[in-house]
Structure 1
Amino acid sequence: MSASHDPVAGTGSIVEYLAALESSRKFGPQVVCHRVFPATAQRLAAADPALSPATLELLRTRGIDRLYTHQAEAIGHLLAGNHVVVATPTASGKSMIFNLPVLDGIGAGSGDHALYLYPLKALAQDQLRVVEDLAGQLRVGPADSGGEIAAIYDGDSSSYQRRRIRDHLPPILMTNPDMLHLSILPYHGNWSTLFKGLRYVVIDEIHTYRGVFGSHMAWVIRRLKRIAENYGAAPRFVLLSATIGNAGAFARQLIDAEVEAVSVSGAPQAEKHFLFLNPWDNAATIASQLLEAALKRGLRTIVYTKSRRMTELIHLWTAPRLGPLQGKLSSYRAGFLPEERREIEQRLNCGSLLGVVSTSALELGIDIGDLDLCILVGYPGSIMASWQRGGRVGRQQRTSAIIMIAQEDALDQHFMRQPEDFFSRAPESAVVNPLNESILHRHLHCAAAELPLAAAEPLLQNPDVTAAVDALVRSATLLQDADGRFWHASRKYPQRHVNLRGGGLQLALINCDSGEIFGEVDSGRALKECHPGAVYIHRATSWLVEDLDLVAREVTCRRQTPPYYTRPISGKETEILQVLDQKTAFGCRVSFGRLKVTEKVTGYQRLNNATRRVIATMPLDLPEQIIETEGLWLEIAEDLQRRLETRQLHFMGAIHALEHAMISLFPLLVLCDRNDIGGISCPRHPQTPWAAVFIYDGHDGGIGLAAEAYRNIDELLTQTERTIRLCSCDNGCPSCVHSPKCGSGNRPIDKGACRALLEMILAGNQLQASVKSLAAPEARAGDEPVAAENVGAVGRSSGERLGIGALPRHYGVFDLETIRSAAEVGGWNRCERMGISVAVVWDSVLGECVTYLEHEIDGLVEHLFALDLVVGFNSRRFDYRVLNGYSPRDFSRLPTLDLLEEVSNHLGYRLSLDRLAEHTLGEKKSADGLQALKWYREGRIDLIAQYCRKDVEITRDLLHFALEKGYLLFQNKAAKTVRLPLALEKIIGAESAKGDQGQISG
C-alpha cells in the first residue's frame, strides 16, 4: 500500500502524525492503547560538588549553573572515594558524572589515569568527541602524550597506533572488554604507567553485561583489580546503565565490591507518546507502512526488530516505495562489516539518513542524532529494553513517540490485552553468574597467567573459587608451586582461547561468484541459519547458501531470490547430571540442577513467501551441539496423565504446549531474551519417574536464568495458565502456545489439553502419595553416578587405599636399554628390532634389583608376568614393543602403571625422567640412552647395568613420592618449580584387578 493513499501520510509534526494514525479507518481500530507521558521539569542540585574552580567555571561557560540532582549526588560519592552506579534514563547527562571528576584530577597534575570501557566501539568514538571538547575548554592535555587527553585502543586501531598509545599514554584510555581481556591484561608490564596511576575505571552501559557476556565481564574486572593492586592502585569504579531493577546489587556482583547506587534522575524529559498497536496484518508489514508514512512526513525514525531477518525484510519492502527518499533508509545489525556500521552511524548522526531499521545493535547510547519516532516490531523482551530503545527518540526536549506493534507472541499479546501491566511494571533485574563453572575455570587460568594466584589473596577466600582451583590443579590447567603457596598457568596466553561474547567462532559469508566477504555469522547461528540450502538476507539482498565449512570458517553463498524462505528442524535430548534442589509447586515436584543438552539440526523446511505454507522438507547431516547447563524440570505425575487421557486429551500436545508457554513468559520474571532459554518436553524421561518439562539456560554452564525462574516457579505457572486461558484462539497460536523457534514445527501442540493440565496443577490435585522425595534422579543401568560426593583434593575417593598402601604386595619397577638406536633400525616404529643390552627389575618382595642380559630375556618375561603390577616410564609405547622382538607373549595384558603415560595424560605433553627427578627428588640421571649405546659398542655392560639400575631406582622413588604426596614437581616454561598432581591409586587398583582376572582366567 502506498503511503500517499493513507491518512497517515502527509507533512507535519509527530503529534499530527499520531492524530492521522488514530483517525485512519485502517490503522485507528488497531491502536489498543495510547499513553501520554507529560514533560517533566528538571531538578537541580542545591550546591556544587567539590570540583576545582576551573571545572565549575567550565560548566558556567556551557550555560550550566547547577548540575542535576543525580549528577551532583554521584560525583559526591566519587569524590568521597566510593564506587558508584548510576541507572537513569537515556539522555540524562550521565557522561558528565565521570568526565568532570576525571578531567578535574588530570587538570590538577596528579598523574592520574582513567580507563573507559564500552561494550561497542562506536560508543568509544562518541565519548572521545565529548572528552576532547571538554578538555579543550579546560585546556587539559599533557605534553608527554602529544597533547592528547584520550585515545581509543580497540580492534580498529592499527599496530602503529597501538604502539604509539602505549609509548605515549594519554590520561584517558578508551577501549572495550575484549581488548582489555586480550591485549592489556595479559601484557600488563607494557601498561605499567596506566596501572600505577589508575584512579578511575568507567564502565558504560552495564545492563548489557548480563548473562554469559556479563559473567565473563565480572571476571575481567576481577582480573583488572588484581593487576591494579599489584601496581599499588585502587581505582574507583563508575558504572552507568539504563534503568534496571537491581542496579546496586548487579553492580556489586559485577565488580565484587560495595557500590553506591543513584537511580532517581533530575534531568527534564519532553512529552512522549506511547502507543500499542495490535495489527490485523503481519507486524512487519504494518511496520513497513508506518515507516514509509513517517519518512514521507520528514520524521526521523528508527525501527527496532527482534531478528536479523525481519530487519532486512522491512528494509527490502519499504525502500522501493520511498521514491527519491530511498537512499535515506538503511538497515543496521550485527553481521555487517565494521566499515558498513561506521558509515551508517555517521550518516544518522549528520542527518543524511532519515530512517534506520535495526536489531538491538542500535539500542545503546551511540549518538545517532535527534529522532522523532521509534517503532518497536514486537515487545523487545523486557521493560528495560523497551524504554532503552524508546529513549533514542525525543532528545533536545522535542515531543516524540514510541509505537509498539504486537507480534503473534505470547508476551506481545499479554501486554496488548493488559497494557496497564506493561506500564506498571518496574524494570527487570539483570542476572549475572560469576560462579558459572566453565567461565570461572577459564578466567582463573587467565588470571594465573597474568599473575600467579596466591593462597592468601582475597579472590581465593571464596570456597567456590578454591574448589575451582583444586579442579584446575587436577586437570593440570593450574600448576601449584613446590611450597604450595602459588598457582601458575599451564599456558602462556590462555586469554586467546576465551571468547567473552560467548558467540562461538565467527564465520565469513562469502560471495561464491566474486570471492568477496560480505558479512559474518557466529558458528552456533550458522548451523541454523546458514546451512546448505538456507536463504540468508543481508542488507536487503537474498543469498542462497551453497556450503557451510565449519573448519575453514566459511559460508559460501550465491545471490538469489527464491520464492520461499527456510526454517531449520532440530531435535534435542537432555540428561540430568546432578540435582541441586527440589521443591513442590501446586503439588508438582520441581527440581533444579545441572543438565546435559544435545541438539542437532536434522533438516529444514522451505516455506512459501506469500502463503507461509511448507512446500518442502529437506534433510541435513550437521554436527551435534552439546552444552552442560543449569535448568529446572517440572514433573507431571502419572495420575494427571491418566486423567487427561481419560478425557481423550493429547498428553504430549499438552506438555509440549506447556513448555512453549512457560518459555515465552520467562522474560516476565528475569531480564533475558527468550532465545537465551531452551526447553524439552518428555512424555517419559529415563531419569524421572514420570513425564517432565525441562527449561534450561541456553548457554554452557548456565547463566542464572533458570535458577531465578525456579525461585519464582509459582508465579511462572500462574501467568502461563492466565495467558493460555485469555487467548481467544481455538487450537493454539503464537500468542499462547506456538513457538517460532520450535525444532519440530509446533507439532504436536494441544492448547485445550494444556489448559486442562494447568488447571489441574494449579488446583494442587496431584496425588501427594505419588510424590516421592528423591535425593537424586534415578540412574539408568550402566550410568556413571550423578555426583561424586566424597572426592578429596587430588581426586581420591574415600573408599580407595591411599598412598603406598595402594600398591599390591608384589610389584616391580622395570626399565631396559637397547643395543641399537632408532636411526639404525629405520625409525621408532621398528622398536622390536632395537635389541636389549640390559634390563632391570626392582622387585618389592625381594627388596632389590634383578639384572637381565640379552640371553636371559625369557627369565625377564617370566618375572614380569609373575608381578601383580609392573611400573615403568614409557613402558607401553617403548619397552614392551622392544620386548616383542624376543617373545610372543601379549604384553598389553600385563597390569601396568606407565608413569610417563600418566604425566602426559595429565599435562597434555611429555616430561623427561631426568626433569622430574631433578625437581622432585633432587637427583639427576647418571647417563642417557646415547651414552648407553656407546658403552655397548665399547663392551662396558657393567656401566649400562649401573645406569639402568639407577633409572629404575629413580622411577621407583618418583612412584613412592607421588603416592605419599599426591604430586610430582617439575619446572615449567616460566622457570617456576610447580606441582604436577597425580592420583595414581585408582589406576593402580584397576590395573591390579586386571592382573587378578588374568591369573584366575589362566
Structure 2
Amino acid sequence: MRKPGFSTMTVAGKAMQSETPPPPIPDDDQDGRDVAAYVAALIASERLGHLVVHHRVLPARPAVFAEPTRPFSRAVAGLLTAKGIPALYSHQAKATDLARAGRHVAVATPTASGKTMTYLLPVLEEVIRNPDSRAIFLYPLKALAQDQQKAIRELAASLPESARPTTAIYDGDTSPHFRRKIRDNPPHILITNPEMLHLSLLPNHENWSTLFAGLSHVVVDEMHTYRGVMGSHMAHVFRRLTRVCRRFGTDPAYVFSSATIGNPGQLAEDLTGLPVATVTESGAPTAARHFLFLNPEQSAATTAVMLLAAALKRGLRTIVYTQSRKMTELISLWIKEKAGPYASRVSAYRSGFLPEERRDIEAAMASGRLLGVVSTSALELGIDIGGLDLCILCGYPGSVMSAWQRGGRVGRAGRESAVVLIAGEDALDQYFMRHPAEFFDRPPESAVINPANPAIAAKHLECAAAELPIELTDPLLAEAGIRAEAERLEDKGLLLRDREGTRYFAARKRPHRDVNLRGSGGQFTIEAGGAVIGQIDEMRAYRETHPGAVYIHRGVSYLVESLDIPERRVVVAQGTVDYYTRARGQKTTEILDVLGEKTVNGVPVFLGRLKVTETVTGYERRRARGGQLLSIVPLDLPPMVFETEGFWWVIPQDVQAELDKRLFHFMGAIHAMEHAMIGILPLLVLTDRNDLGGISTPLHPQVGRACVFVYDGAPGGVGLTRLAFAKADEALSRTLAAVAGCPCETGCPSCVHSPKCGSGNRPIDKVAARYLLELLMSGKLPETDPCRPEGLISNEPPQPGDPQASPNPKAAVTKKSPGRYGVLDVETRRAAADVGGWGNAHKMGVSVAVLYDSGLDDCITYAQEELPALYEALARLDLIVGFNILRFDYKVLAGASPLDHRKLPTLDILERVHARLGYRLSLDGLAKATLGTQKSASGLEALAWWKEGRIDEIAAYCKKDVLVTRDLYTFGRDNGYLLFSNKAGKIVRLPVEWA
C-alpha cells in the first residue's frame, strides 16, 4: 500500500515518488550528533520503522598492539612519541617489518585502520638513514595527494628542519615552473598519480635520473581501485616502471594499501608481476556501528531524501552514496527543496566535476560548512572530509567490498556511527533484503584485471619501446599473446626492429598521450556556452549525451544540442523540461575465437572473444512524474564496434522445443535469463552490472542454436566474464534463485528487468524464464549435437613454428613471388617549377626511361619517342615495381604518350612505406641502410644534363636508381623487411610484404 500524498515519478527507468516534505523523525537528541537516538527514532518511526528488515550493531573492538621485530631508529621512534603514538597496531607492525626488509607487501584492512603508517614509517626511516633515497607515492585522486602531503608534514614536524624529508606534489595542477624545479631536484617523497607516472616520469626518465637512481619504495594507495580497465592499464605501467628502475640499477619495494578485498596479494602480484606478501588482520580499534537494511515502499532515492533531511535537522554529518551521476544530481536537487535552512549545507559530488569544484566541496565538508554530501563512488576513497556520523547507501553498491568501504567512511573519530542500506529494485538489492545475514557472512569479492587485453597491451608496448628498446627476451614479451601484439604493432609500423632483429623501437617518440588509463576508449568534453562543464567517456557518450538527451550537471538540466564524435565534443544548452530521456538501441555479436568450453547439467557453455556491434537507434522521452512514455525519437548514429571477451550459454534444441510446445514466449524467456544473470553476477565477480553487457538471440548464425551472451563491457575485456565462466554452475543456480525468489508476478527490476535495456525490456517473460532455468538446471534435456561455433578467426593458439608465433619476420613471408617482374624509373626534361608544380607532372616530358626486366635479367633504356615499345614491354610483366611510380613516373609517361596504367600490376615501394610509417622515406636513405649503397646522382643533376645533351649520363644515373629499387624489392621479398635510419638515428627494420 502506498502512503497518502505520494505521486509516482520515474527517472532513468526507476520508479520514484514525489511528495510533500515528510515529517522529520522526532528529534529528542540534545547533543545534536547522537547516532543511537537517530537509529532508535528511525526504527520507531510510523512511516519508515516497519520497512527496516534488519538491524545489526557491530560491537566496538579494542586495539591489538605489537612491537616491530626490529626496533625503529631513534629518529622515527621520536616522531611517534611526538605524535602521541605509544605503540603500533599489530597490522602496522607486521607491514612495516616487511617493507623495511625490502619485501613487497599488500596491506588490506578496513577503512580508518591506520594503513598510512604502514608505508610512511619505512619510507621516513630510509630517507633519514640515506638522504639520497627517494620514494614515489601514487594516489588515484588529486585530493588524496593533498591529504597525504599534510600527513607527512605533520608526522615529520618534530624533526630538525634540516633533517625533514622533502615532499612535493607533482600532478596536472603543478605549474610548468615548479614541474621543472621538482624534476631537476626531486624531493625525497614525490606524491603523484598514475597519469603523471605514465605521461611524464616514465617517458622522461633520463631527466628524472636522481629520482629513479635512488628509488627505494613505491607506495600504491587505494589498490582496490586498480581493477577492471584501469587495473589492466596499471599492470603495464608498473611493468614499465620496473624496466626503467632496472635501467638505473634500483629495485624498489612496493607497498600496496587497499580496502578489504578477497585477493589483495593476488591483485598486487597481477599488477606488478612480482611476489607480494599480504597483511589482512587489522589490529585497529573500532567504535560501535549500526547497520540497517531498509526495503522501501517508495523509491530508494525518495527514502534517502527523507533520511538525509532528518539527519541534517539533528546536525548529523552525513554522506549519501548513489549509483549514478544522474541520481546524485537529482537527490541533491530534491534535498534542497526539502531541507529548509539546511539546503545550502548539502552538495553533490561526482566524477565529471571540474577539479576546482571538487576541491571546494572537499574543503567545505572537512571544515563543517557542509553537513551533507551526495556522491557517486568518487568519495568512496579515503579523502579527508572530516568525521562523518551517518552513511546512507541509496541502493546496494554492487559489491560487499564497496559497501564496507563506503560504510567505513563514518565513525572515524571513535564515535558511534550508522550505515543505512536502502534497497533499490535491482536483483542484488532485493537478494540481500531477503537474506541479510549473507551480506555479513560473505567474504569480500576478488578484484580482477586482464593485462593480456590486446587493446590495452598494444598501447603500453608502444609506450615501453619509446622509453627503452624492448629486447625480444624482455619479460614484457614472455606471454604468447603479448608477443603476438608486438608483431601486430610491427606489422602496422608502430614497432620497429633493429638491424639485427633483436630489439623493438617505437616508431613514434611520444605515444603516451593516446592512452587513457581510466578507460579503453576516449573522453568527450561537455560544453555549455563555450565553457567546459564536464567530461564523459566514449562508451557512455553515445547513450547519455546523444542529440536531444537530457543531461543534468550540479542540479541544472541541460539539453544536448550536438554530439561531435570526431572532435569528441558534446554541446549542451541549459533548459527546463518535464521529461527525461533513455536511449534505445540494438546489438549483434560475432564469435571470433573460443577460449574455453564445458557443460553445466548438459548445457554447453563457451568462453571466447567476441565482436560486439551496438547501435543507438533512438531515445525515449518519458514524463518526469509518472514515467509515461511521451515519444520515441529516432537517431542516426554510427555503430560502436569493439572486440571483447564473453561467455555464452547454448540453449539445447530439446529445451527450446519444450518451451515452444508449452506456448511460452521463447525470446521473452532467454531475454529475461540474460537480464537476471547479469543482475546476479556481481555476487560472484567484483563488478557492477553496468560493466557487463548481454545479448540473447533465438538463433545465432555461427552456432545454429539459441544463445545467451554475457560479455565484458570494456573493449578487449578485463577478465570479468573469465571469472564468471569459471563459476558458470553457480551463476546458473543463483540466476534461478533470483527469478524464483522474487515475489512479483510478471517481472520487475528486482529479477528480470534491466535499467539499461536498449529495447525497453521487451519482450520479457518471467514465467517462461523460470521454466527455462529449471529445465537447464535439471539436466533432463541436454544438448547432444555439436554446437561449437563456425567461421572463427582461430580455434587454436599459435604453435611453435607457426608463422603467427614466430618473432622472425622471415617466417611470415609466405607469399609467392611473381613469375616475371620489372622495375621502372623515369627521368624528365623539365623541373616541377618549370611546369607549375608537381601536379603538372604530365607536362614534364621524358628524357630517359629505364626498365629492368627479370625475364631478360637486363635493363633497357627508352627515349620519349620509344614509349610505345616500353608499354608493350610493361604489358608482358606480372608485376611492375617502382619508387613513387604511381604519383610520378606513370603521370610523366601518360603526358608524353597515352598510357592507361590502371590495369598494370604495380607495386609502389614509396607508397607501401608511407602506408606503414605514416611518413615518407627517400630512396637514397633506404638504400644506404638496407643495401649499403646509394644513388649516383640527383634529379637536379639529371635535369642539368638534359639541357647539356648528356643523355648517356642520365641513362647511367637512371639505371643505377632502377637497380637500387630492384635490390630493395628483392631484399624485402626475401627477408620481409627493409632497413632505415629512424629519427633517433637507429637503424631499424620496416616490415614489408610485397603481395
* Shorter-normalised TM range: over 0.9
TM-score (norm 2): 0.95
Look up the equivalent residue of 2:268 and give its one-letter code: A
Partner Cα distance (1:785, 1:69) in 2: 53
- The residue number in structure 2 matching 1:839 is 849
Partner Cα distance (1:711, 1:744) in 2: 30
User: Contact (CA 8 Å) 2:108, 2:258: kept in 1 or not?
Assistant: yes
TM-score (norm 1): 0.94
- 1:928 Cα deviation from its structure 2 partner: 1.7
Larger mean Cα displacement after TM superposition, 750-759 or 459-468: 459-468
| Residues 1:585 and 2:585 aligned together | no
| Residues 1:921 and 2:919 aligned together | no
User: Contact (CA 8 Å) 1:590, 1:634: kept in 2 or not?
Assistant: yes
- The residue number in structure 2 matching 1:713 is 728
1:118-147 Cα shifts (integer Å, max 9, x gaps): 0000000000000011111233656xxxx7
- The residue number in structure 1 matching 2:319 is 302
Aligned partner of 2:409 among 388, 392, 396:
392
Residues 402/191 of structure 1: CA separation in 2 closer, same or farther (3 Å cut): same
- 1:976 Cα deviation from its structure 2 partner: 0.3
Partner Cα distance (1:671, 1:761) in 2: 26
What SS does the aligned partner of 1:509 have? strand
Partner Cα distance (2:539, 2:897) in 1: 53
Look up the equivalent residue of 1:421 and give its one-letter code: E
- The residue number in structure 2 matching 1:170 is 187
- The residue number in structure 2 matching 1:252 is 269
- The residue number in structure 2 matching 1:620 is 635
User: Contact (CA 8 Å) 1:112, 1:198: kept in 2 or not?
Assistant: yes
- 1:349 Cα deviation from its structure 2 partner: 0.8
Aligned partner of 2:225 among 197, 208, 223:
208
Aligned partner of 1:120 among 141, 150, 162:
141
Partner Cα distance (1:505, 1:808) in 2: 44
Partner Cα distance (1:423, 1:801) in 2: 61
Partner Cα distance (1:827, 1:560) in 2: 54
Residues 794/398 of structure 1: CA separation in 2 closer, same or farther (3 Å cut): closer
User: Contact (CA 8 Å) 1:677, 1:695: kept in 2 or not?
Assistant: yes
Look up the equivalent residue of 1:778 and give its one-letter code: E
1:9-68 Cα shifts (integer Å, max 9, x gaps): 553511111111111121111111111110111111045643201211221232222211
- The residue number in structure 2 matching 1:188 is 205
User: Contact (CA 8 Å) 1:103, 1:140: kept in 2 or not?
Assistant: no
- The residue number in structure 2 matching 1:7 is 25
- The residue number in structure 2 matching 1:683 is 698
1:680-738 Cα shifts (integer Å, max 9, x gaps): 11111211111111111111111001111111111101000010001111110000000
Partner Cα distance (2:210, 2:797) in 1: 47
Larger mean Cα displacement after TM superposition, 80-89 or 466-475: 466-475
Aligned partner of 1:649 among 664, 687, 707:
664
- The residue number in structure 2 matching 1:449 is 466
Larger mean Cα displacement after TM superposition, 871-880 or 715-724: 871-880
Partner Cα distance (1:424, 1:595) in 2: 36
Q: How does 1:751-790 map to 2 (within 5 A)?
A: 751-770=766-785, 772=786, 774=788, 777-779=789-791, 790=802
User: Contact (CA 8 Å) 1:378, 1:412: kept in 2 or not?
Assistant: yes
User: Contact (CA 8 Å) 2:809, 2:991: kept in 1 or not?
Assistant: no
Larger mean Cα displacement after TM superposition, 695-704 or 537-546: 537-546
RMSD: 1.9
Aligned partner of 2:280 among 263, 270, 281:
263
Aligned partner of 1:932 among 926, 936, 942:
942
- The residue number in structure 1 matching 2:764 is 749
- The residue number in structure 1 matching 2:574 is 559
Residues 107/140 of structure 1: CA separation in 2 closer, same or farther (3 Å cut): farther
- 1:828 Cα deviation from its structure 2 partner: 2.4
Q: How does 1:803-842 map to 2 (within 5 A)?
A: 806-842=816-852
- 1:548 Cα deviation from its structure 2 partner: 2.5
Partner Cα distance (2:981, 2:127) in 1: 45
Aligned partner of 2:454 among 437, 451, 470:
437
Aligned partner of 2:247 among 220, 226, 230:
230
Look up the equivalent residue of 2:630 and give its one-letter code: I
Partner Cα distance (1:227, 1:915) in 2: 32
- 1:557 Cα deviation from its structure 2 partner: 2.5
Residues 506/755 of structure 1: CA separation in 2 closer, same or farther (3 Å cut): same
What SS does the aligned partner of 2:577 have? coil
Q: How does 1:636-675 map to 2 (within 5 A)?
A: 636-675=651-690
Look up the equivalent residue of 1:70 and give its one-letter code: H
Aligned partner of 1:959 among 954, 957, 969:
969
- The residue number in structure 2 matching 1:67 is 88
| Residues 1:969 and 2:986 aligned together | no
User: Contact (CA 8 Å) 2:823, 2:852: kept in 1 or not?
Assistant: yes
Aligned partner of 2:861 among 844, 851, 858:
851
| Residues 1:428 and 2:445 aligned together | yes
Residues 899/556 of structure 1: CA separation in 2 closer, same or farther (3 Å cut): closer
Look up the equivalent residue of 1:731 and give its one-letter code: T
Q: How does 1:289-328 map to 2 (within 5 A)?
A: 289-328=306-345
Partner Cα distance (1:103, 1:511) in 2: 47
- The residue number in structure 1 matching 2:4 is none
Q: How does 1:475-554 map to 2 (within 5 A)?
A: 475-502=492-519, 504-512=521-529, 515-554=530-569
Aligned partner of 2:99 among 78, 83, 102:
78
1:295-326 Cα shifts (integer Å, max 9, x gaps): 10111110000001111111111112222211
- The residue number in structure 1 matching 2:56 is 35
Residues 799/246 of structure 1: CA separation in 2 closer, same or farther (3 Å cut): closer
- 1:500 Cα deviation from its structure 2 partner: 0.5
Partner Cα distance (2:416, 2:571) in 1: 47
Look up the equivalent residue of 2:563 and give its one-letter code: L
- The residue number in structure 2 matching 1:990 is none
Q: How does 1:20-59 map to 2 (within 5 A)?
A: 20-47=41-68, 49-59=70-80
Larger mean Cα displacement after TM superposition, 694-703 or 10-19: 10-19
Partner Cα distance (1:129, 1:927) in 2: 68
What SS does the aligned partner of 1:683 have? strand
Partner Cα distance (1:834, 1:855) in 2: 15
- 1:470 Cα deviation from its structure 2 partner: 2.3
Partner Cα distance (1:412, 1:585) in 2: 27
Residues 507/895 of structure 1: CA separation in 2 closer, same or farther (3 Å cut): closer
Larger mean Cα displacement after TM superposition, 21-30 or 814-823: 814-823
- 1:873 Cα deviation from its structure 2 partner: 1.6
Residues 525/141 of structure 1: CA separation in 2 closer, same or farther (3 Å cut): farther
Aligned residues: 970
Structure 1 unaligned spans of 5+ = 988-1002
Partner Cα distance (2:432, 2:857) in 1: 82
Residues 881/639 of structure 1: CA separation in 2 closer, same or farther (3 Å cut): farther
Larger mean Cα displacement after TM superposition, 283-292 or 455-464: 455-464
Residues 461/522 of structure 1: CA separation in 2 closer, same or farther (3 Å cut): closer
- 1:642 Cα deviation from its structure 2 partner: 1.7
Partner Cα distance (2:501, 2:348) in 1: 57
Partner Cα distance (2:525, 2:477) in 1: 41
Residues 254/754 of structure 1: CA separation in 2 closer, same or farther (3 Å cut): same
User: Contact (CA 8 Å) 1:198, 1:233: kept in 2 or not?
Assistant: yes
Structure 2 unaligned spans of 5+ = 1-18
User: Contact (CA 8 Å) 2:83, 2:155: kept in 1 or not?
Assistant: no
Partner Cα distance (1:787, 1:866) in 2: 43
Larger mean Cα displacement after TM superposition, 959-968 or 724-733: 959-968
User: Contact (CA 8 Å) 1:935, 1:944: kept in 2 or not?
Assistant: yes
Partner Cα distance (1:605, 1:10) in 2: 47
Partner Cα distance (2:483, 2:812) in 1: 24
Larger mean Cα displacement after TM superposition, 122-131 or 841-850: 841-850
| Residues 1:349 and 2:366 aligned together | yes
- 1:773 Cα deviation from its structure 2 partner: 5.8
Residues 19/929 of structure 1: CA separation in 2 closer, same or farther (3 Å cut): same
Residues 702/313 of structure 1: CA separation in 2 closer, same or farther (3 Å cut): same
1:820-868 Cα shifts (integer Å, max 9, x gaps): 2222223323322222111112122212111111111111100010112
Look up the equivalent residue of 2:948 and give its one-letter code: E
Partner Cα distance (1:184, 1:107) in 2: 24
Partner Cα distance (2:952, 2:258) in 1: 78
- The residue number in structure 2 matching 1:95 is 116
Look up the equivalent residue of 1:5 and give its one-letter code: P
